[in-house]
A and B are shown apart, each in its own frame.
Chain A
């Protein structure tokens, strides 16, 4: 304002030389630019004699800390590898970066993704196949990984992924609350119940102690819960070219459970992210259904807790799950030496995945799961069978973790928790969502 009010023809105020002169400034700027350029392009194998290995991942929080711990150990054992790991935000932002890097033929040497997203990453174009022979040299083959997980890593008969773990929805138990409710046995294990009515009765007993809820669950991203309940009844979702098959009765039964849990006040109408764990930690609920990655969160709260498989609401312990896995993003000029280092790195991480298991995930590498050390991990060892009960989503470009289906389906399913739609209305909306997704040509 002051400048505007100055008379237009007044002489400019004299400029006193401040700081470095023009030449010094230019020289400095050039030097800085040179340094920056050098920093952006670190010396390659030629100069350092080290093999360059770049890893991208999506692990933050408790997972991220454990991965850093493992990476530190890996680097200590591999001084000849110039290893650098980069963590990006979980979900769509991460997949965007992997896809775009690979589309330009300049992907990282190795990246972690969800096995359920393999199809949306266009194996063969955005992902380079992995030589099973090379992997076997480092001790990883179909004999050390569960068959249901190993199969998921193939596309068109070729191996594209190396599974790290299985992560599933499990049931957490607030031991203090459940002890008071008298639903634990002498060994502090939750009494085994089976069937919808028996499970609701169990929750009512717990609710009698908490005064609030029996069960804490995420109402904001309910697709996983729905999928577990639907699959417990053998519900199928068959995706065709432009049509799909879904069992309406079974879907309605699953939705009815979600609807009634909220309607009867046995589970919260609104719970998201941190709220879900807070509810069980504060004793507002005695049980919680959540991913096994919440174990570090509950450990941090200091409450006495345990965990078990997803409740047998429909008579079995099937649960929704997914696997983190390593993939080789497409590189235009794939260097055999770096590819070999990447395979060796992946195998090393699998062999040492006991650390990873500390975060709650069930390692894919069976010798670790069967070891005495894993047995001693509590409550991880309580739900190790969950890996065999895992139910993956049907393969499609829009399915899988952080995929379009999960995001779009949440719209219909949250209304069940809120009580704003009946199961029939929510099913109609969900089917419309799936129909919409099928109607668009696959972008992959």
Chain B
């Protein structure tokens, strides 16, 4: 859990500790030693064999017409790259991915913060809220999509069944091009927000209580305490959650694939599904690799941009 190092350390004596260098991890200077290398060696080996090497090989595939069905492979230069960059379906799926991200990231950051604040303040019900807010996160994706698939069912589902009792004809949820993406985002938020919530809660509980006590003595109300103490102290956690959520949302695949298969009429087909369709259903591994690389570059760029934005804000 390297994320935990992100949470603000208790600043009991401001100014006495050296300022943490910019970057993810607060590295303290130590005499150089090779011992540490042995500890990370197993991880590095796995990383190299199962991530780095396939990534390098995959990059090589982008210049070939390699098929999942085997057969002769020939070098085709930049054909896959140009096909990727001129394919309108690729842009449609990129747009869907972006739309999902735009809808889900702010929602899942704000929701997590609200839930954490609630838990932090409702002391007596804390255990209950912690349990109910985090419980959906442990569900396997298949279970989550089954539950929500039935609830969303326009004619037999819980939502429209309930609405019809009040004489309201409910929307078509996953079955309409207009509402499918929103429905997927709502289900995803319910399912995944627990992780962000946990990060927020941990960070919130490490804010020293005496700061609040001092503020209370000076007459600060609940909202002032939240606005002037809690939120600023959580800035780095927010930055971390936002970046993690951004990357997570951009990589969305499985719940959408299970709930809508990218439909109706491709309204929810994301980039990852399009890569999957091209590579595994369409057998074109070379093309799928170049799509994956294009997408990887976009994710890295977006993450760097967002991280810069947040760290600058912090000053």
Contact = CB atoms under 8 A, between A and B. Distances in A.
A444 interface: yes
A106 to B, nearest CB: 12
Interface string A113-138: 00000001110011000000000000
B66 to A, nearest CB: 8
Interface string A380-424: 000000000000000001100011100100111011001010000
Given A1-B4, A126-B69, 19 more contacts: A1-B9, A1-B206, A5-B9, A8-B28, A100-B68, A120-B283, A268-B155, A269-B154, A269-B172, A269-B175, A270-B154, A275-B153, A275-B155, A278-B156, A404-B282, A411-B266, A412-B265, A415-B264, A415-B265
A164 interface: no
B39 to A, nearest CB: 15
Interface string A56-95: 0000000000000000000000000000000000001100
A397 B283 contact: yes
30 contacts: A1-B7, A1-B202, A92-B276, A92-B281, A96-B68, A103-B68, A103-B69, A103-B70, A126-B69, A220-B264, A268-B155, A270-B155, A275-B156, A279-B155, A402-B281, A404-B281, A407-B261, A410-B261, A410-B263, A411-B265, A414-B263, A414-B264, A415-B265, A418-B176, A418-B264, A420-B177, A440-B284, A443-B282, A443-B283, A444-B283
B263 A96 contact: no
A189 B283 CA distance: 46
Contacts of A270: 154-155, 172, 175
B67 A444 contact: yes
B169 interface: no
A35 interface: no
Interface in A312-355: none
A220 B156 CA distance: 16
Contacts of B68: 96, 99-100, 103, 443
Interface of A: 1, 4-5, 8, 92-93, 96, 99-100, 102-103, 120-122, 125-126, 219-220, 268-270, 272, 275, 278-279, 284, 397-398, 402-404, 407, 410-412, 414-415, 418, 420, 436, 440-441, 443-444
Interface of B: 4-5, 7, 9-10, 28, 65, 67-71, 89, 153-156, 172, 175-177, 202, 206, 261, 263-266, 276-277, 280-284
Contacts of A404: 277, 281-282
Given A1-B206, A4-B5, A420-B265, A407 B277 contact: yes
Contacts of A272: 175
Contacts of A120: 69, 283
A126 B67 CA distance: 12
Nearest to A4: B9
Nearest to A273: B149
Contacts of A275: 153, 155-156
Nearest to B286: A443
A93 B281 CA distance: 8
Nearest to A91: B281
Nearest to B157: A275
A245 to B, nearest CB: 23
B155 to A, nearest CB: 7
A38 to B, nearest CB: 23
B200 to A, nearest CB: 13
A411 B263 contact: yes
B70 A99 contact: yes
By Cβ-Cβ distance, the 7 closest A-B pairs, closest first, are A103-B70, A443-B67, A270-B175, A443-B283, A411-B265, A92-B281, A443-B284
A326 B188 CA distance: 40
A88 to B, nearest CB: 13
Nearest to A407: B281
Nearest to A413: B265
Centre residue among B176, B265, B281 by max chain A CB count within 10 A? B281
B282 A5 contact: no
Contacts of B282: 398, 404, 440, 443
A93 B276 CA distance: 10
Centre residue among B175, B206, B261 by max chain A CB count within 10 A? B175
Contact of A443 (B9, B65, B89, B202): B65
